[in-house]
Amino acid sequence: MQAKADNRNQFVDIMRGIAMLLVVLGHSMTGCTVDSQRSFLFNIIWSLQMPLFILISGYVTKYSRPISDGKGLWKYVKRRTVAYMLPWAVWSFVVRGIIFGENGFLNVKHLLWNMDSGYWFLATIWTISMIFGIASFIAERLGKESVLKKQIVLLGCYLAGMVLLVGVGAILGLSFFAIKLTLYYMPFYYAGFLYGQFDDRMKESEIGKKIIDSVVAICFVVWLFVILRFSLYEMSDGGFAIILRAATSLAGCIAVCGLCRGIFSSKMGTSCMGRRALVGSVSHALSASQLDQVGQSADSVQSSRAKHGSGQLLDYGGTYCDGNSDDKPKCRDEIYINRKEKVSEFFLWAGKQSLEIYMMHGLLLNIFKSSVAIQFSSIEGYLLTAGNFALTIGLCAVVIRLLNQNFVLKKVLNIR
């Protein structure tokens, strides 16, 4: 957990945004078309969406402060409960139940034993975070003198929490409070936490980077090999199927995170005739006054060429290039960078607003739902799904913006 918004790990938010958009796309497919679960696209989405969310949630524990005393544990429990269970209660009972009149969300017993009909993810992530927080507290108290001992105690307590959940599920049923789903996703949370502990150290050395690249490549091949041959969603809940699904999803999440890190973290240098490019290319070598002179020279060159017609000036993304020169490829690189930044900003927005999108997208979905059953694997099905997805995301953005204008609604509905 980051202390300040400015210190947020933007790549983590981007990955969270990708996961959230996959959730909306998957629900768009199943909500407005039929037989979409049998498609290869849905197989990809289902193998990644929630496992990626849980994995990221475990990873960001690296930013949390150690829980070393009872006061810290109480603050942790209170903060996580307010963050997860308050939105669950408000959106389930007040929004879905009272305002939208969905009776199932006012029946507490039905809701507790059928969490997957509503906001089960919040119940699951709350339960996992409670077990992990208590395990961290015990490990911090018992393993102070040894990092290895601390990790062993933490893992032991975490596994004990899973056993406790199995016991509760045996008595009340695995459907109670999404215990079945919680048990399935707990290994993903721990895997994210474990990677977060060694991530920075691995990147510090060339050998570590090569190991990461190798693991990402292997995971990508394994993930692709399995999803091309098995429909993970339609597999039974037998032991082999559960292990195969979990292993495939974990491999897919590792592959996607590794590949996307290369896409969204890479930097490209450009050199165009515009003032911005000239100033940027010499900013480390010249003083502020010299930078102004360089910028003014660039502006005068552009004005002179435009005035005397000595070559056509082309505008590429706000930076001018001489149409008769060899600068156009460089400027196209800048266009590519600008577009990539816009895509990154979109995913970043979806990541920062992932909770809000998760809570409200179900209410906005199926806007284009047809009274006639439309097969997903058809032109009509593709267009319907794409239109519903785009409209849902757009309406989520509008609603979030509107709710942000009112302090009371913003607080009650947990809008950030």
123 and 47 in one domain?
yes
Place of tokens 């699951």: 124
152 and 123 in one domain?
yes
CA-closest candidate to residue 219, choices 260, 190, 184, 183? 260
Task: Give the pLDDT confidence score for residue 414 in this predicted structure.
Answer: 82
381 and 319 in one domain?
no
Across the range 93-101, mean pLDDT stands at 93
Quick one: pLDDT band at residue 202, thresholds 50, 70, 90? confident
Burial group, residue 78, by CB count within 10 angstroms (0-12, 13-18, 19+): exposed
Residue 216 has pLDDT above 50, yes or no: yes
Task: Give the pLDDT confidence score for residue 291 in this predicted structure.
Answer: 38
Task: Give the pLDDT confidence score for residue 301 in this predicted structure.
Answer: 42
Q: What radius of gyration do the chain's Cα atoms show?
A: 25
357 and 316 in one domain?
no
Q: Contact at 8 Å (CB) between 344 and 354?
A: no
Number of structural domains in the chain: 2
Task: Give the pLDDT confidence score for residue 317 in this predicted structure.
Answer: 39
Selected residue with higher pLDDT from 236 and 232: 232
Q: Contact at 8 Å (CB) between 316 and 272?
A: yes
Asked if the structure places residue 332 within a domain, the reply is no
Q: Contact at 8 Å (CB) between 68 and 255?
A: no
198 and 237 in one domain?
yes
Structure tokens at 213: 């690249």
pLDDT digits (tens, 9 = 90+) for 328-343: 566 677 777 787 788 8
Q: Residues of 46-66 as b/e, b for ≥16 C-beta within 10 angstroms?
A: bbbbbbbbbbbbbbbbbeeee
Asked if the structure places residue 311 within a domain, the reply is yes
Task: Give the pLDDT confidence score for residue 26 in this predicted structure.
Answer: 95
Q: What are phi and psi of 325, to 5 degrees?
A: -105, -175
Structural domain of 301: 275-326
Asked if the structure places residue 390 within a domain, the reply is yes
Structure tokens at 305: 């060429």
| The residue count for the chain | 416
Task: Give the pLDDT confidence score for residue 392 in this predicted structure.
Answer: 95
> What is the share, in percent, of the chain residues with pLDDT greater than 70?
82
Asked if the structure places residue 343 within a domain, the reply is no
280 and 158 in one domain?
no
pLDDT digits (tens, 9 = 90+) for 136-192: 999 999 987 788 999 999 999 999 999 999 999 999 999 999 999 999 999 999 999
43 and 121 in one domain?
yes
217 and 167 in one domain?
yes
Mean pLDDT of the chain: 84
Alpha helices in 353-378 (DSSP H): 354-364
322 and 402 in one domain?
no
Asked if the structure places residue 333 within a domain, the reply is no
310 and 360 in one domain?
no
pLDDT digits (tens, 9 = 90+) for 371-387: 788 999 999 999 999 99
Asked if the structure places residue 342 within a domain, the reply is no
Amino acid residing at 176: F
95 and 213 in one domain?
yes
Structure tokens at 244: 């195969």
Q: Contact at 8 Å (CB) between 232 and 245?
A: yes
Task: Give the pLDDT confidence score for residue 266 in this predicted structure.
Answer: 52
Quick one: pLDDT band at residue 327, thresholds 50, 70, 90? low
- Torsion angle, CA of 326/332/337/341, rounded to 10 degrees? 150
CA-closest candidate to residue 122, choices 83, 152, 67, 71? 83
Asked if the structure places residue 356 within a domain, the reply is yes
387 and 294 in one domain?
no
Asked if the structure places residue 340 within a domain, the reply is no
